[in-house]
Structure 1
Amino acid sequence: MPILDERTLRLPFPTCSSPFAEAAEVHVRQWARRFEMVRGPESERRFAETGFGICAGYVQADASSAALNVYAKWLAWLFLVNDQHGEGVYETPETWLGAVRHLRPVFETGEVDNGSASTPAARALADVLGHVYPVMSPAWRKRFSRHCWETIEAVVPESDRRRRERVPGVDEYISNRRLVSAGIPLFDLCEFMAGRELPDDVREHPAYREMVMAASEVMAWCNDVASLEKEEAAGEVDNFVLVLEVAEGLDRSRAVEAVVERVRHRVEEYLLAERSINTYLASRAPNFETWRVVDYCIRSMRHWMVGNVRWSQLNPRYTVSQSHRQRSRPPHVVDLLSTRAG
């Protein structure tokens, strides 16, 4: 954590938090119990310590109370389902793909139909999407569903490399990490949070696409620094620090500094893209609502980059446990992708 304190937090954005964060924290804990995303005292304790409502408050500081509750549930769902792979419940490519396949129709329709496996993850996902999909266009829903599924599938090469203990090359790592970090669907959801969809010409503009990519990478690479010790203890190889150690022959401290320097550079590229999209908007003189939704999405990306780091400092998610050292399933992780309880 000292690395985050001294270096990564020097991002050129203020740290903000929603006044509704504490209420969102209460809401998401109740939701997790109701949908059996947590089961038992150890699972509930860890969930409460992690603080998904607090995280939502940092990364969506401008959201309404109702929208923040939805985002907190989405964050909790993403992290807990990702833990099904990362914490050793479904740790091989085969078991992971077999376990998550029933989620695809839920992403596509927003519902758990009678023919789908009814798991805690499926039911909780349908609940979240039930707030989102009715107010978003079919095109947005299709795009969001595709991006979410790309995130889920991106776990497969990570899992395969972990099994073979093969550290990826730099380009290989960056392209897959961008997907597995879920940055793209997280930023898709900013349009729901803003209460209006981006115009197609803005969303597809090269500058806006660059903003999404840059913000996603800043978020992911800062996370790599925060989670380095935990991931190394668990046998993970897809961490930018470990990748640069191998690719550039660096020792640990120099590899960390190299990641931090790449974060700084990516922030600079993000700011250039942000200026470009504002110049483009000014040239076409959009109406107030277009300005408002673009401004909301821009502020959300800024909040995400710095807020993710602040949240990482405040919770025990990235501490190394005995379970990680032994590469075994931690006691707080419950199976969310099976119809069997527990």
Structure 2
Amino acid sequence: MPAFPYSTTYRGTSTATAVAVPPSLSLPVIEAVFPRRLHPYWPRLQDKTRAWLLEKRLMPAEKVAEYADGLCYTDLMAGYYLGAPDEVLQAIADFSAWFFVWDDRHDRDIVHGRTGAWQRLRSGLHRALDAPADHLHHEDPLVAGLADSVGRLFAFLPGTWNARFTRHFHEVIEAYDREFRNRVAARVPSVEEYLALRRLTFAHWIWTDLLELGAGRQLPDGVRKDPAFRRAALLSQEFAAWYNDLCSLPKEIAGDEVHNLGISLITHEHMTLEEAVDEIRRRVEDCIAEFLLVERDVLRLAECLDDGTVCGKEIGEAVRVCLGNMRNWFSSVYWFHHESGRYMVDSWDDRSTPPYVNNEAAGEK
């Protein structure tokens, strides 16, 4: 389903509204070469994820009513996993919304020095990931919400996929703990350390794993580990992480953050703010250019896999679906950052405190 070229349709209207992209964040190649599309299930997806956030008590009712649609979490996923069955996209979108809420809790626990609360949450998330059915009624909504969302994700593909996803997400939780300790200590990681950690805190391999759910098939290890396929997947995620850093830099400087590529460049490479912005932008543009090249190699891989057998045809088609959705990630991420209230720092009363978060002592006893 084609989407409007410059914006979403939405917020209850059927008219496209142009989004003004600041020149420092504008990427004409995305707007020209990566057309934006939305899964046709999107309107119901938004309604159901809003209801799920309420049901699981992941956001206060007044925050859901005022901010949930404007945060555009479902828009991001509806622009990414095209072709996914409706129930698969719904499970992914709910998990994505949960992830954003978890990220906000993590941030607030750091800001308010709630080390004990964070460690309890960290432990609970690890346990819920290993045994989702045992934690559906956990007292902490974030633990129960993870149990519910991953339990649904685990229903679509074989246990080997579930085990891989679980392993990858355990690594993400531990990376969040390393970020917690860095921020509490006001320690800015080196550029190389930050880049390695960012691949985990952004959950590169989680979103890539979920491509297979969207394609309806677990890919053989040899295909997933093919250099071209793996590089294309990594480039789509690196673009997203670094573009996020570019857009988040004002918010994170205002909040005395230490985890942003720009902040590492300023601290350890002695760049000015302007130089750091230029360097992040260069990396972002390089990701786009390289993806356009490696995309051809992945298409050739899909052709080779489609060897005339039924299995070969199915695997080749699944690779094409995954590659198409890697491509969709570029446009979906780009527009998300200019439409979501998550990044509209200048409209907040307090630039260091997002208005959509629960700033109370969540997780404390």
String of CA shifts for 1:277-334, please: whole Å, max 9, x gaps: 3333433444221122111111111111221110111121123334443xx6857326
SS in 1 for 2:189: coil
8 Å CA contact 2:247–2:337 kept in 1: the answer is: yes
CA distance change for structure 1 residues 74 and 295 in 2, over 3 Å: closer, same or farther?
A: same
1:125 aligns with 2:146: yes
What's the counterpart of residue 154 of structure 1?
A: 175
1:339 Cα deviation after fit:
8.8
Q: Distance in 2 between matches of 1:332 and 1:83?
A: 7
Per mean C-alpha deviation after superposition, the further-off stretch among 85-94 and 157-166 is 85-94
What's the counterpart of residue 329 of structure 2?
A: 304
Q: Distance in 1 between matches of 2:207 and 2:215?
A: 13
8 Å CA contact 1:108–1:142 kept in 2: the answer is: no
> Aligned letter for 1:131?
R
> Aligned letter for 1:304?
W
1:253 aligns with 2:278: no
1:252 Cα deviation after fit:
2.1
What's the counterpart of residue 224 of structure 1?
A: 245
Q: Distance in 1 between matches of 2:47 and 2:292?
A: 35
CA distance change for structure 1 residues 160 and 192 in 2, over 3 Å: closer, same or farther?
A: same
1:289 aligns with 2:314: yes
Correspondences of 1:177-326 after superposition (within 5 Å): 177-286=198-307, 287-320=312-345, 321-325=348-352
SS in 2 for 1:235: coil
RMSD (Å), alpha carbons? 2.7
What's the counterpart of residue 184 of structure 2?
A: 163
What's the counterpart of residue 358 of structure 2?
A: 333
Q: Distance in 1 between matches of 2:237 and 2:115?
A: 24
What's the counterpart of residue 100 of structure 1?
A: 122
> Aligned letter for 1:306?
S
8 Å CA contact 1:108–1:141 kept in 2: the answer is: no
Aligned length: 337
Picking from 127, 146, 157, the partner of 1:136 is: 157
1:109 aligns with 2:134: no
String of CA shifts for 1:243-298, please: whole Å, max 9, x gaps: 22233333222321211111111223333433333333433444221122111111
8 Å CA contact 1:84–1:336 kept in 2: the answer is: no
1:230 Cα deviation after fit:
0.9
CA distance change for structure 1 residues 271 and 96 in 2, over 3 Å: closer, same or farther?
A: farther
1:37 Cα deviation after fit:
1.1
Q: Greater relative contact order (Cα 8 A, min sep 6): structure 1 or 2?
A: 1
> Aligned letter for 1:103?
L
CA distance change for structure 1 residues 71 and 241 in 2, over 3 Å: closer, same or farther?
A: same
Per mean C-alpha deviation after superposition, the further-off stretch among 49-58 and 2-11 is 2-11
Per mean C-alpha deviation after superposition, the further-off stretch among 278-287 and 223-232 is 278-287
CA distance change for structure 1 residues 52 and 91 in 2, over 3 Å: closer, same or farther?
A: farther
Q: Distance in 2 between matches of 1:333 and 1:260?
A: 32
Gaps of 5+ in 1: none
8 Å CA contact 2:88–2:214 kept in 1: the answer is: yes
String of CA shifts for 1:140-170, please: whole Å, max 9, x gaps: 1111011112112112232222223232221
Picking from 44, 52, 63, the partner of 1:23 is: 44
SS in 1 for 2:57: coil
SS in 1 for 2:256: coil
> Aligned letter for 1:147?
H
TM-score with structure 1 setting the length:
0.88
1:82 aligns with 2:123: no
Q: Distance in 2 between matches of 1:262 and 1:109?
A: 39
TM-score with structure 2 setting the length:
0.83
> Aligned letter for 2:283?
R
